Every structure is written in structure tokens, then in C-alpha cells.
Amino acid sequence: MLLTGTGRLAPAGPSPPWAIEVRDGRIAWIGSATGAPDSEERIELGSALVTPGLVDSHTHPVFAGDRSDEAAARLEGQPYTQGGILRTVRETRAADDETLERLVEGRLRAALAAGTTTVECKSGYGLSLDEELRHLRLLARVAERVPIRVVRTFLGAHAVPPEASSMADHARRVADEMIPAVAAERLADFVDVFADEGFFDLDATERIARAAGAAGLGVRLHAEQLARTGAAELGVRLGVASVDHLEQLDGPGVAALAGSSTVATLLPGPALVLGDRLPPARALLDAGATVALASDANAGTYGGFGTMPLVIGLGATLLGMTALEALTAATAGGGAALGRETLGTLRPGAPADLVAWDAEHEGVFALRLGAVRPSRTWVGGREVWAG
Amino acid sequence: MLLTGTGRLAPAGPSPPWAIEVRDGRIAWIGSATGAPDSEERIELGSALVTPGLVDSHTHPVFAGDRSDEAAARLEGQPYTQGGILRTVRETRAADDETLERLVEGRLRAALAAGTTTVECKSGYGLSLDEELRHLRLLARVAERVPIRVVRTFLGAHAVPPEASSMADHARRVADEMIPAVAAERLADFVDVFADEGFFDLDATERIARAAGAAGLGVRLHAEQLARTGAAELGVRLGVASVDHLEQLDGPGVAALAGSSTVATLLPGPALVLGDRLPPARALLDAGATVALASDANAGTYGGFGTMPLVIGLGATLLGMTALEALTAATAGGGAALGRETLGTLRPGAPADLVAWDAEHEGVFALRLGAVRPSRTWVGGREVWAG
């Protein structure tokens, strides 16, 4: 079974067995094996399910400390606030580079072992200029040691640090001081803002987004998680790559996204952990929006690094997607959310990022939830993992 | 952090650091380290969360074949029926002993690697006398090769096989022919019946349960999953060890279980995969029922062998339990469901089945969902797994 990330190779298409030709790290050809071009090396994968490598387009891997006690307290009735993020900021600021690099490397390796070949990594547990730069620099160093594609996002507007006099004051520093410094050192591809009630308001968000655009960086937003603020429509108006979370999104918000090029990125992990409303996945798909599924692996609301197979399973069960829709959202959807047209797809010109799974049909992601494992994984045509 | 399976060692109890003395495979003493008895060998576990080994009191590991295509079709609107089980029966009957033993061994090793130290294993994909005996015998052989405690259950009444003339006819054969044969060869500790709409009715269930009792075997039931049939009250009246599933249970059913010694075993995995109603975990706990959490890992509705940490996480999120309640249900609750008073607890006389986790607080099961791993695991005082 070969899934292309934009839909399976259907019975109406080429007949199985299928073949993929890889040249210079990219897919050169895909179709029925009988018509495959000659090749120096040939790898047989039998009846294994083969998909594009998973694209996890929303993670926060740079942090120290353990907030599992807070997760337990929330289940006993405590609310979720900025306080938790600031606890991680304290513990992360206190951790030296070596400690943080070891933690980040372990998280990226867990992702790779579970079939993720591209991972978006946010800063945002530093919040001061020096700390944010330190986190983005160490992300770059770790990315060189782990054979996974890393897309970096600057999230200086993750929360308001204790040293700031106000939300607006911190937003001004992010826009006017931090973004130019990040861009000058080419430390990030994107800027993200936690645009939600109790975090950053729409004016602050727009200010930061415009500064990002002026610096040549893409924009993505945390939106509509805790309250329906209009951050989704702001994202559409600004043409951001993706608005993420969307638990509180309503009909007009769905329509706004469906009529735009902004991707709706859904994060079932923290929605389940926080016991929140679930994002309107079915409505978004039915309206024609581009949907991505990502882990949101982070310090406080979902600790699941290396759980993209579970995230696909939660999409297919909790969020009411079909298995094929969920897998597509976790591959081509993630690629679209990162603004890379062919990433997460199997077609000529796409990067040869491939996973052969220990299963024969994509329904396995729903049937086994997390318990699906890659047998073999390739990034850019190079084999990087074998189970 | 030391969790006893019947509640943590509370601040009002002995002060940390805690210690456990193990002698002859059992816990001899537990309390503050300062008062610990002298011991030849001493193992330091630092700040790790230590719990009883997990008890998975409901699994179906003896099968061949892959039904992940069916899981995908269900998400696209197909109903769940006996047909799926009979497909697995065909494929399992066709598999030789070597193939089945390899599959079962892989499943038990996956469970052990995820911190499960006791696993209940059902037959039930054979359905003829010869096939059921073959499955129970090979379970016994595999159990000798894997250092995990195996409790065997005969589930001849899992579905009606094609060769039976009716449900009642198959129930008669299970009660009058199969149970005596299973008991004579000491191949099982329990008998289970799929007592639900479209499967076995209450009369057939009672007949099989009485035959089990007469043969000296314990009884457990699949109950109230697909329809509210009264199987829970039948189980209470017959004094069965556990009634499992309970998605359709209502207030009177909760009250009946709360006033009984029958354990309510909840299976969030298949409830999520089938998109079914969720079992009333909160109502059962609040009413004082003994609750167990188990995986129900099986061929068709939840394939998650080795996912008990995820099952605890789903209990703590999807089912509204606290992290401590969910962990207790997956340890002491499972022990109670298997009729073993001290199994799944840490107290003098209990088996020394212990897990030290890669975490410091039980909230981690909710925070990370499936992504929690044992660092070290002991069964009967012997170290059987190290991460």
C-alpha cells in the first residue's frame, strides 16, 4: 500500500506493485513497478504500508524541568494559565547549553524513531533576547547532529516574562528588538505568537506579525485555543502560513479559513490533556480548508515527543477524520503549514522522505493508536532509521 | 515518588526517601528509608516515580492476520459486527503453532517493555474445541519464555462459529464440552463470555458461567458494550470477578456494581477506536465501585499491545479520572479484577512486581499520554527489563 500524502495510488491509477525512483535525494518517478526506470540499487518493501515521512509542524522542544505534577493537579481541578509556562521559563533559563542540547536531541531522536522526518521547533521558553537567541542557536547545533529536517520558529511572544512591565511592552520588544536580531542571524524561518485570551491580544499580534513580515520571516499563530478571539480571521487577513489549535473556532471562523490559503493546524494531544473542547476537524475538512495535524509536544500541556502515530490515531478517532484524512493532514498538511508545497507528499520533485511501516494499511493508525512503528525511514533518500 | 497502588505514601505517612525490602520475590517491608532493615543488595532509584507493575486484566493476544483495513472502513461508516471476529477466526485457524507463538510472544514482550508485569490473555479466536485447546496450550508455552505473569482465560463464547447451528447450540457446546476439557487440562483460570446484543444472550451467559463455576474456574464477562442488556447485574448476581467494557451502563447498573464485589473494568482504547459512548468512570468511582483499566488489545477494535501507559493516560483524560485514580485502576484495580488481593499493590506480602519510570510524578501518564517508559522493571523481585 503506497500513500502519496495527497491520496492513495487508487485502483483507477497505476496498478500495484508500485515503485518509487529516488535521485539526488528527491523523488524522480513514481508509478507501477512494471514501468519503473532501471536503477542501480533496488529496495523491496513487500506489502508494507509506505507513506511520506511524517511532518510535525508544531512542537516546543527547548525546555528543562518536569511539570507532570501540574498535569495531575489540572485533572483535580486547577485551571491552565501563563503561570505554568513561566515556571518552565525559570527552569530553562537556569539550564546550561549542554543540558538543553541533550534534552532537545533526545526529543528529536524520539520523533525520528516514530516516523517524523520534518519537525517544526519553536523557541519561547526563554522570552528575553539573550535566552531566545541561545535557544535558537542551540536548536541549529542539535539539528546538525540528528538526521531530521528542522524548521525553526521564534516564539518570543509565548507569554509575558516577569521582567516586562506589560503585555504591550513585551510585544513591542519582540517586534522592535528581538525579531530584527533573530532575522539578522538567520536563526528562524517563522515567527509565532500565542494570540489568545490572557496571552497576546490582536493588536499586539498584528504588530509582531508585521515586524516578522518586514524582516522576511513567515508567520504562524496560536489561535482560538482558550477563547474565540478572532485570531483566526486576523491570520487569514495577514496571510499567515498556519493558525494552530482552533478548539474554540465557530462556523464563521471555519468559513474564513476554508476560503483562504492559511492552513488549519489541529493539535488533539493538548486538547485531550486539557479536557478542552475539540477543534472542528470535520467542519474544516467538509468546508475545504487545508488541515494539518501536529503534536504540540511541549513542557506543560502535552509531553508526547515521538507520538505522531498517536496524533494521527487521535485525529482519526477523537476528531472524526478518516484514517486517510488524518494521515494526509500529518504529511502533506504539515508540509503546507510549513509553506513547502511538496513536503509530505510522494510525487516527482518532492524530497525523498519515506517511511515503511510495520503494517499494511493506514487504518492501523486508528486501530493501534500509538502502537505503530516504522520499519525503515529515509530522509532525502538516505536511510536514517531501521526498527 | 512511591505509589503503592492503593494510594501514594502520603505526607501524613512515612517521610521520604522511601524504601522497599524484597525477600523471596515478595515485598517484605515498605516505609521510610531511615527505618529500613539491613539488606545484602541495595538499589538506588533517585527521584524516579516507582509504582507496582501494571496489570492488564483484559487482552486477546492469540490471533493472526491484520484488520487495519476494517478499522479504516469503520471510520468511513461501516458498523462493527461478529463478522470481523470470524474473519480473524479463519486466519487464526489457518496459522500454524510456530507462527502464532511468535505473534503472541511479540505481543507479551511489547507489554512487558511498557511496564506491564501481569497480563490476562484470552483465547477466543479458535471457537472449536481443538482450536481453543491449541490456543490455550500455546499460551502456556509462550508464558514460560517471557518473564511476565500470564493469567489465562477461556473465551469459547467470543462469537458463534460458522459450523454452529445457533447461538444456543454453541453455548451448549462451550458449557458441556469445552469447559470440562479446558478444566481437566488446567488450561485456564477464568471463563469469559461476550454477553452482548448480537453475541450471547443472558440465558446462554448464565449457562456458561454456571458450567465454569462447576468446573472450579472463575468467571468474567464482556458486558454492556454494544447495548444495555443487564449483563452487569447478571454478573453481580453470579458473583463474577469482573464485568468489562460498560460503555452503555446506566445509573442502576452503576449502583449494582458499587454494592458488589464485582470489579468494573473499563477499556478506553476500543471505546475511542469504535467511537462509542464512553463508560461512566466518574460515576463508578464516585459510587465506590472498584474500577480497573485494561487495554483490550485485540485483533479488530484496538490493536495496542504494550500501550498500558496510554490506557492510563486515556483514563485520566478521556474518562475523567485523576492520574492517581487511573494508575490505581491499572495496578490494584487490575489485580482485584483477576481475584488477586495483593497483586498490583506495594505492601508486605505482595509480589515484588515493580516499575521505576522515566518520570517523577504520576501526572506524567496524563501529560505524555503514551510517551512514558519504564527505566527498570522487576517481576517477583527479579529485574526483567531495563530501558
Identify the CATH number of the domain in which residue A22 sits: 2.30.40.10
Q: Does residue A361 contact residue A49 with C-beta atoms inside 8 Å?
A: yes
A307, amino acid identity:
T
Question: CB distance A364–B310 less than 8 Å?
Answer: no
Task: Clarify whether residues B62 and B48 are in a common domain.
Answer: no
CA distance A211 to A207: 6
Window from A265-274, A302-311, B66-75, B308-317 with minimum mean pLDDT: B66-75
B13, amino acid identity:
G
What percent helix, strand, coil does chain B show, rounded to 5?
Answer: 35, 20, 45
Q: Residue B48 phi/psi, 5° resolution?
A: -65, 145
In angstroms, the separation between the Cα of residue A373 and the nearest Cα of chain B is 12
- Per DSSP, the residues of B139-167 read HHHHHHHSSSEEEEEEEEESS--TTSS-H
Residue B10 has a pLDDT of: 53
Task: Clarify whether residues B206 and B276 are in a common domain.
Answer: yes
Task: Clarify whether residues A116 and A58 are in a common domain.
Answer: yes
Task: Clarify whether residues A216 and A350 are in a common domain.
Answer: no
Residue A3 has a pLDDT of: 79
Question: CB distance B75–A361 less than 8 Å?
Answer: no
Question: CB distance A303–B371 less than 8 Å?
Answer: yes
How many domains would you assign to chain B? 2
Helix (H) or strand (E) holding B245: strand B242-245
B81, amino acid identity:
T
For cell 486508528, the residue is: A366
Residue B82 — very low, low, confident or very high, per pLDDT cuts 50/70/90?
low
Q: Does residue A297 contact residue A124 with C-beta atoms inside 8 Å?
A: no
CA distance A294 to A291: 10
Q: Does residue B373 contact residue A304 with C-beta atoms inside 8 Å?
A: no
Q: Does residue B228 contact residue B202 with C-beta atoms inside 8 Å?
A: no
- E strand spans, chain A: 18-23, 26-32, 50-52, 54-56, 116-122, 149-157, 190-195, 218-223, 242-245, 263-266, 291-293, 354-357, 374-379, 382-386
Within the 333-362 window of chain A, which residues sit less than 8 Å (CB to CB) from chain B?
359-362
Q: For B262-279, what is the mean pLDDT?
A: 95
> Residue A303: closest CA among chain B residues belongs to which residue?
B368
| Dihedral, CA of residue B54, residue B58, residue B61 and residue B66, to nearest 10 | -110
Q: Which of A316, A359, A369 sits opposite B307 (nearest CB)?
A: A369
Check which CATH number belongs to the domain holding A282 and give it. Answer: 3.20.20.140
Task: Quote the distance between the C-alpha of residue B80 and its chain's center.
Answer: 22
Residue A384 has pLDDT above 60, yes or no: yes
Among the listed residues A9, A53, A12, the one whose alpha carbon sits nearest the alpha carbon of residue A30: A9
Q: For B198-222, what is the mean pLDDT?
A: 98
Q: Which of B71, B301, B303 sits opposite A323 (nearest CB)?
A: B71
Task: Clarify whether residues B24 and B136 are in a common domain.
Answer: no
Between B38 and A282, the higher pLDDT residue: A282
Residue A13 — very low, low, confident or very high, per pLDDT cuts 50/70/90?
low
Task: Clarify whether residues A7 and A71 are in a common domain.
Answer: no
Within the 62-81 window of chain A, which residues sit less than 8 Å (CB to CB) from chain B?
66-76
Q: Residue A182 phi/psi, 5° resolution?
A: -60, -45
Question: CB distance A303–B370 less than 8 Å?
Answer: no
For cell 454494544, the residue is: B226
Residues of A in contact with B367 (CB under 8 A): 67-68, 71, 273, 300-303
Assess A317–B contact: CB distance below 8 Å, yes or no.
yes
Residue A333 has pLDDT above 80, yes or no: yes
Assess B125–A contact: CB distance below 8 Å, yes or no.
no
> Residue A111: closest CA among chain B residues belongs to which residue?
B371
Window from A39-53, A181-195, B233-247 with minimum mean pLDDT: A39-53
Identify the residue among A321, A367, A368, A375 best suited for mutation to test binding to B, counting B beta carbons within 10 A and taking the highest: A367
Residue B11 has pLDDT above 50, yes or no: no
Q: Which of A69, A305, A362 sits opposite B363 (nearest CB)?
A: A69
CA distance A102 to B346: 34
Among the listed residues B84, B142, B149, the one whose alpha carbon sits nearest the alpha carbon of residue B303: B84
Give residue-wise pLDDT tens across range B93-104. 999 999 999 999
Helix (H) or strand (E) holding B52: strand B50-52
Residue A182 has pLDDT above 80, yes or no: yes
Question: CB distance A318–B272 less than 8 Å?
Answer: yes
In angstroms, the separation between the Cα of residue B239 and the nearest Cα of chain A is 33
Residue B1 has pLDDT above 80, yes or no: no
CA distance B172 to A229: 63
> Residue B48: closest CA among chain A residues belongs to which residue?
A66
Residue B78 — very low, low, confident or very high, per pLDDT cuts 50/70/90?
confident
Prior bond to B79 cis, omega within 30? no
Question: CB distance A68–B363 less than 8 Å?
Answer: yes
Task: Clarify whether residues B21 and B124 are in a common domain.
Answer: no
Tell me the residue range of the domain where A316 lies: 54-337
Q: Which of A69, A269, A302 sits opposite B361 (nearest CB)?
A: A69
Residue B6 has a pLDDT of: 72
Task: Provide the 8-state DSSP code for A174.
Answer: I
CA distance B222 to B266: 10
In angstroms, the separation between the Cα of residue B256 and the nearest Cα of chain A is 27
- Per DSSP, the residues of A26-87 read EEEEEEEGGGPPP-SS----TT--EEEPEEE--B-----S--HHHHHHHHTTPPP-HHHHHH
Task: Clarify whether residues A163 and A253 are in a common domain.
Answer: yes
Assess A366–B contact: CB distance below 8 Å, yes or no.
yes
Q: What are A357's strand-pairing partners?
A: A374
Q: For A322-333, what is the mean pLDDT?
A: 96
Task: Clarify whether residues B228 and B314 are in a common domain.
Answer: yes
Give residue-wise pLDDT tens across range B103-124. 999 999 999 999 999 999 999 9
Residue B4 has a pLDDT of: 77
Task: Clarify whether residues B257 and B297 are in a common domain.
Answer: yes
Task: Clarify whether residues B218 and B320 are in a common domain.
Answer: yes
Mean pLDDT of chain A: 94
Question: CB distance A369–B269 less than 8 Å?
Answer: yes
Task: Quote the distance between the C-alpha of residue B42 and its chain's center.
Answer: 32
Window from A77-81, A99-103, A108-112, B92-96 with minimum mean pLDDT: A77-81
In angstroms, the separation between the Cα of residue B25 and the nearest Cα of chain A is 31
Burial per residue of A297-319, b for 16 or more beta-carbon CB atoms within 10 angstroms, e otherwise:
bbbbbbbbbbbbbbbbbbbbbbb
Residues 6 or more apart whose CB falls under 8 angstroms from that of B193 comprise: B155, B157, B200, B204, B205, B208, B209, B219, B221, B222
Verdict on whether the full-model pTM lies above 0.90:
yes
Task: Provide the 8-state DSSP code for B351.
Answer: B
Residue A77 has pLDDT above 50, yes or no: yes
Among the listed residues A98, A177, A187, the one whose alpha carbon sits nearest the alpha carbon of residue A136: A187
CA distance B232 to A183: 64
Q: Which of B76, B317, B370 sits opposite A310 (nearest CB)?
A: B370
> Residue B296: closest CA among chain A residues belongs to which residue?
A368
Q: Does residue B154 contact residue B178 with C-beta atoms inside 8 Å?
A: yes
Q: How many residues does chain A have?
A: 387
Task: Clarify whether residues B223 and B369 are in a common domain.
Answer: no
Residue A10 has a pLDDT of: 54
